[in-house]
Structure 1
């Protein structure tokens, strides 16, 4: 048995009737393998079964602790019901991207069954008049983050079409614990809670006010004031590097509302080569250009509807803090940073320069914070109250008139640069499909694949009628930057950005 961390548990606690806690990857493939076999649920099921010994997250079942006295556990189920987890459906002709996106939106709007391992795979045929097949892999965020989710996909996908079937050693299932056993574990955990708080105190207390996911809670505010007092007496903490955008307040837009249970999805590819050309011209990073594309798109989209705030928007950017030693451990090793999105700036080059400055400052602040801050901060909330605290945060996030920390979630996930295959069928795109939260009703996640950037836009269905107009605005943002790059000599202050190499944590979903 493996106990979930407080951060893993938070992704369970955040779920309610309107908010889902899973993340997904949408792969687009040839309809047939190199040997002519159709890519269908039977083939995908065989592939997963052969590699089940390499996929512990596909075998884990959730074992809750009675009364939530402690964090729940994963129990290795040893196997799974293939017909339940791997499902097949087909799009009506002609099988367009919009039809696929509508089907994906319906699927991600349904929560995973906690009585089973928390994943599902959907094989969706009929795409592009039957020439292609989509495979949607849906996994709970309590088991994987962006990096560990990519590790799962790397186990399922191959870099060649002629990989031999893997020998599948038997997996020994763990006996599922009784309620009495889990109650005993919970009582032991309850006694350990003061020790957890003491261990987390030195790293978490000085920075509790820097955690946007919990700082709205009244009880945390009191502890955070104590933390701010500690900052003044801890010489190792720099005043200029104490907040991850904690002073950032998001202006009100239509996205700062309580979400419904339903979603809309849009997706599409953009040229990675074009993005890199912009990066090289202006001396910034690929991530800066991605954020600039999102900023430009949101600016024009809101402006066309007469909804553009006078103040800049704020972005909520998840990022990985997973070390090389933690590779293959699954679970969550993430942090977040808040950054300004200068939608108040009309000039695209000045906008890019401001984004580069803001992202660099946010990364410097982030490096000054403990990598385990989100996990340690949760230790100041007893497990029995974590779900209630998550619900309270959700209610506050959806309240009109209350300042929100961010308008939009933006993630940029580095992906494979070479072609991949699923059971011998070539993959043409790998699109991230994330989720939305109360108070942040839009998510833009980007993943690179070969020479493309795959954009996945997810919005609450009641807030946006057509997310494809947002995708069109993002494309226009890239075109605007590319046009300036093709004819513009950047000023010295822009070309000087990011010339000094420094370690960075990569933004991930």
Structure 2
């Protein structure tokens, strides 16, 4: 779907989150034109050790609009954020985070979160089967920290699946179930732009060979 719309998986991910967040506010009678989002993008390679990621912060459109229009807008915003000086500075800090005391990283993350409404993260998972005490790992759900944001939605690829972990602060999100439903709906809207052989929904029929499945896990605080 991302390729068909002229963008990347990260563009699709942020677009779906912004689409759902905007719809959530409208359904509660408090529409907003835009929200502040962040995306932590893993830059770890097979040769690198420790933590390595880029943190991009951006103002994304959440007004009522077709999802393909939002995708195009987010794609431009994300490209600009990636090439911005602030993003480069944060990347430099994040790349060496394994050498910095945890308390320092925690304070830095919290200070950054204070300027963000919701957070997203795309984490590259293992490309080979993983095992725990001899048992094969079937699903691998990432749970990103809240750190002051209303919700954190994190994506991890694992063995042909995209596992999505959603961490919600119920003090900020009045109806977590509604947010979950809207996020799933947004992903399905984007998936409609993909070739039929590539589109898949974990709640629907079995996927065709080679298709990517989406699976969800939610945690509320």
TM-score (norm 2): 0.70
**What does residue range 212-251 of structure 1 map to in structure 2 within 5 Å?**
none
Q: 1:470 aligns with which of 158, 179, 194?
A: 179
Is 1:457–1:467's contact at 8 Å kept on the other side of the alignment? no
> What residue is the counterpart of 1:319 in the other structure?
41
Any unmatched runs of 5+ in structure 2? 197-221
1:133-182 alpha-carbon deviations (Å, 9 max, x no partner): xxxxxxxxxxxxxxxxxxxxxxxxxxxxxxxxxxxxxxxxxxxxxxxxxx
CA distance in 2, matches of 1:416, 1:292: 25
1:445-465 alpha-carbon deviations (Å, 9 max, x no partner): 111122221111112232335
CA distance in 1, matches of 2:45, 2:187: 32
CA distance in 2, matches of 1:469, 1:428: 27
Q: Does 1:448 align with 2:171?
A: no
Q: Does 1:355 align with 2:74?
A: yes
- Structure with greater proportional helix content: 1
Is 1:291–1:355's contact at 8 Å kept on the other side of the alignment? yes
CA distance in 1, matches of 2:87, 2:173: 37
1:177-233 alpha-carbon deviations (Å, 9 max, x no partner): xxxxxxxxxxxxxxxxxxxxxxxxxxxxxxxxxxxxxxxxxxxxxxxxxxxxxxxxx
1:237-273 alpha-carbon deviations (Å, 9 max, x no partner): xxxxxxxxxxxxxxxxxxxxxxxxxxxxxxxxxxxxx
Q: CA deviation at 1:486?
A: 6.1
> What residue is the counterpart of 2:2 in the other structure?
279
Q: CA deviation at 1:314?
A: 1.7
> What residue is the counterpart of 1:301 in the other structure?
24
Is 1:432–1:454's contact at 8 Å kept on the other side of the alignment? yes
With over 3 angstroms needed to count, the CA separation of the structure-2 counterparts of 1:284 and 1:428, relative to structure 1, is: same
Is 1:281–1:485's contact at 8 Å kept on the other side of the alignment? yes
TM-score (norm 1): 0.33
Is 2:52–2:94's contact at 8 Å kept on the other side of the alignment? no
**What does residue range 20-99 of structure 1 map to in structure 2 within 5 Å?**
none
**What does residue range 105-504 of structure 1 map to in structure 2 within 5 Å?**
278-309=1-32, 311-320=33-42, 327-328=48-49, 330=50, 332-365=51-84, 369-370=88-89, 371-373=91-93, 390=107, 405-438=115-148, 440-485=149-194
**Matched pairs, number:** 188
The 3-state SS of whatever aligns with 1:430 is coil
1:65-106 alpha-carbon deviations (Å, 9 max, x no partner): xxxxxxxxxxxxxxxxxxxxxxxxxxxxxxxxxxxxxxxxxx
Q: CA deviation at 1:405?
A: 2.5
Q: CA deviation at 1:317?
A: 1.6
Task: Point out the structure with max Rg over C-alpha.
Answer: 1
CA distance in 2, matches of 1:478, 1:323: 27
The 3-state SS of whatever aligns with 2:137 is strand
Q: CA deviation at 1:359?
A: 1.1
1:312-338 alpha-carbon deviations (Å, 9 max, x no partner): 11211223455766x23x3x4444211
Is 2:37–2:57's contact at 8 Å kept on the other side of the alignment? yes
CA distance in 2, matches of 1:368, 1:475: 29
CA distance in 1, matches of 2:68, 2:40: 25
The 3-state SS of whatever aligns with 1:291 is helix
Is 1:335–1:373's contact at 8 Å kept on the other side of the alignment? no
With over 3 angstroms needed to count, the CA separation of the structure-2 counterparts of 1:369 and 1:303, relative to structure 1, is: same
Is 2:42–2:124's contact at 8 Å kept on the other side of the alignment? no
Is 2:36–2:115's contact at 8 Å kept on the other side of the alignment? yes
